[in-house]
């Protein structure tokens, strides 16, 4: 396919004095922050699906985007045109990584053999594209939710042949991810859940999922894939209830099947809020459980009850999220993947650039603010001081297992303890965070 974004040159950093909407004002890839380049800190990725597989349709209306590569035609030919446009976009956007599902990049075909064959051909195409452009793969994944065969789930399907079909896709997607140098492999179980408890055996479906994930781990080691395996939690949508509800739920699942050292989570901001949590909560929880892996950077709408996958634009929120990540040592192989889609009304091709540039700039702003909070870590100091008692004699004794309820109760009486509440200073801390954000 010929150049699609004809009037759009490669996006450059121009700084805050620029008012060019097609330039970065904050994202300066090589700029050093806390001893590491922005590019290395953020590890930004654009996705294939929302950008190149979606035409602006929603439940109540047809597509508004008119992408030529989504028109009818020979499927493999269209897939190649799509790859041309995708890599033109990624390159011009100056983003270092991308991410994809198997069926984003290759036609499913009418049989498992066609699937395998098409995907293999397109893996060659992607490999050549990566080489040509220098782009890297943040993660690959398999789509086990769009085809009607997965309407009742893939790993958790009542039909073991559906499980088998899904397993086949995952194996090929893992293999392709490895071959393309992908740095992680993601599993999002969009249909692994239920529509109604009336026809569902929760225990059976959980066992199936446990078995599936164990097979994935085994395959990873067999092929020597070195990246992280990531589960992406989501509470509901498309189904009524999904088993990977949130990070805490995934943790229990992993513990049950002995997988807690084999998987991390890929946290999506909009999935966090649909689950009734703040984005920061999910990140902090994952870190506290040793499960933090990667981020799908987007946002929901606070008034809407579905996954709008909007571009992240709250620097207030992003700064605290990045602060948590920096405190925990930063990403290893994860990164910020834009699992984001344009608003249906944003129908200009250049809206794709503008939206991503905004997202990248907002993350860059967040990084700079978070770095300031790390350098003068007033939050860390408050926390240390607040829990200081747990480094004292009593605290250490309790945590060291020196007390029973009874001996502790005796101590309480003997010392006539009358502990008093101490202010949590929430408003002070909120003010101090804003001092960093706004000067």
Among 7, 10, 16, 131, contact with its own copies (rule: CB under 8 A): 16
Contact 367, 322 (CB under 8 A): yes
Cα atoms in the Cβ-side hemisphere of radius 13 Å centred on 39: 11
Q: What phi and psi, each to the nearest 5 degrees, are found at residue 411?
A: -60, -40
For residue 384, what are the contacts with CB-CB under 8 A and spacing of at least 6?
none
Q: Exposed, middle or buried by CB within 10 Å (0-12, 13-18, 19+), for 338?
A: buried
User: Which position among 69, 311, 331, 338 is part of the footprint of its own copies (CB under 8 A)?
Assistant: 311
Residues within window 213-242 making contact with its own copies, judged by CB under 8 A:
215-216, 218-219, 222, 235-238, 240-241
Q: Shortest gap between Cβ of 132 and its own copies (angstroms)?
A: 29
Q: How far is the CB of 56 from Co ion (least distance, A)?
A: 17
Q: Which does 339 bind (CB under 5 to 8 A by kind): its own copies, Co ion, none?
A: Co ion
When asked if residue 198 is in the footprint of its own copies (CB under 8 A), the reply is yes
Stretch that binds its own copies, among 2-10, 118-126, 131-139, 211-219 (CB under 8 A): 211-219
In terms of Cα–Cα distance, which of 150, 184, 370 is closest to 265? 184
Select which of 41, 102, 104, 362 is catalytic. Answer: 104
Q: Pick the closer one to its own copies by CB: 48 or 165.
A: 165
Q: How far is the CB of 424 from its own copies (least distance, A)?
A: 3
Q: Quote the CA–CA distance of 435 and 432 in Å, as a whole number.
A: 5
Task: Kindly compute the dihedral angle of the four CA atoms of residues 138, 171, 107, 156, in this order, to the nearest 10 degrees.
Answer: -100
Contact between 71 and its own copies per CB under 8 A: no
Q: 278, 272 in Cβ contact below 8 A?
A: yes
Contact pick of 121, 314, 333, 372 for its own copies (by CB under 8 A):
314
Tell me if 120 contacts its own copies by CB under 8 A. no
Interaction between residue 363 and its own copies (CB under 8 A): no
The site partner of 432 among its own copies, Co ion, none (C-beta below 5 to 8 Å per kind) is its own copies
- Near its own copies in 264-293, by CB under 8 A: 273-278, 280-281, 284-285, 287-289
Residues 162-191 that bind its own copies (CB under 8 A): 162-165, 167-168, 170-172, 174, 190-191
The alpha helices in 134-224, defined as continuous H runs, are 160-179, 202-223
Task: Indicate whether 131 belongs to the interface with its own copies (CB under 8 A).
Answer: no
> Which of 101, 277, 281, 356 does the annotation list as catalytic?
101
DSSP 80-137: HHHHHHHHHHHHHHT-SEEEEEHHHHS---SSHHHHHHHHHHHHHHHHHHHHHH--EE
- Whether 104 is catalytic is yes
What single-letter DSSP state applies at residue 149? G
Q: Which does 179 bind (CB under 5 to 8 A by kind): Co ion, its own copies, none?
A: none
């Amino acid at each position: 396919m010929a150049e699609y974004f004809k009037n759009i040159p490669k996006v450059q950093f121009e700084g805050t004095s620029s008012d060019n909407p097609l330039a970065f004002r904050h994202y300066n890839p090589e700029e050093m922050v806390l001893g590491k380049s922005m590019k290395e800190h953020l590890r930004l990725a654009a996705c294939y699906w929302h950008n190149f597989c979606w035409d602006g349709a929603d439940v109540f209306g047809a597509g508004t985007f008119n992408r030529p590569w989504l028109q009818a035609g020979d499927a493999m030919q269209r897939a190649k045109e799509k790859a041309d446009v995708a890599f033109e976009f990624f390159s011009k956007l100056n983003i270092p990584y991308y991410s994809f599902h198997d069926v984003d990049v290759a036609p499913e075909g009418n049989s498992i053999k066609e699937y395998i064959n098409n995907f293999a051909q397109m893996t060659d195409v992607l490999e050549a594209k990566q080489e040509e452009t220098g782009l890297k793969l943040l993660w690959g994944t398999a789509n086990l939710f769009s085809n009607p065969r997965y309407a009742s789930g893939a790993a958790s399907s009542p039909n073991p042949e559906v499980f088998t079909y899904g397993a086949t896709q995952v194996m090929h997607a893992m293999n392709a991810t490895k071959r393309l140098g992908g740095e992680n492999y993601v599993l999002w179980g969009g249909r692994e859940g239920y529509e109604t408890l009336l026809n569902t055996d929760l225990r059976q479906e959980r066992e199936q999922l446990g078995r599936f994930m164990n097979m994935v781990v085994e395959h990873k080691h067999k092929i020597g894939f070195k990246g992280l395996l990531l589960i992406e939690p989501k509470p509901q949508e498309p189904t009524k209830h999904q088993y990977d509800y949130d990070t805490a739920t995934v943790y229990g699942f992993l513990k049950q099947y002995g997988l807690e050292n084999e998987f991390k989570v890929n946290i999506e901001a909009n999935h966090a809020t649909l689950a009734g949590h703040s984005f920061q909560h999910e990140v902090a929880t994952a870190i506290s459980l040793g499960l933090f892996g990667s981020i799908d950077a987007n946002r929901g709408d606070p008034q809407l009850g579905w996954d709008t996958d909007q571009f992240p634009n709250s620097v207030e929120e992003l700064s605290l999220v990045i602060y948590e990540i920096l405190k925990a040592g930063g990403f290893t192989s994860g990164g910020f993947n834009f699992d984001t889609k344009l608003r249906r009304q944003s129908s200009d091709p250049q809206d794709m650039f503008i939206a991503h540039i905004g997202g990248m700039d907002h993350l860059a702003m967040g990084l700079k603010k978070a770095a300031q909070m790390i350098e003068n870590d007033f939050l860390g100091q408050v926390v240390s001081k607040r829990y200081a008692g747990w480094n004292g004699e009593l605290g250490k004794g309790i945590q060291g297992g020196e007390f029973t309820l009874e001996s502790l109760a005796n101590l309480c009486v003997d010392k006539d303890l009358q502990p008093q509440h101490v202010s949590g200073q929430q408003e002070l801390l909120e003010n101090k965070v804003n001092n960093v954000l706004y000067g």
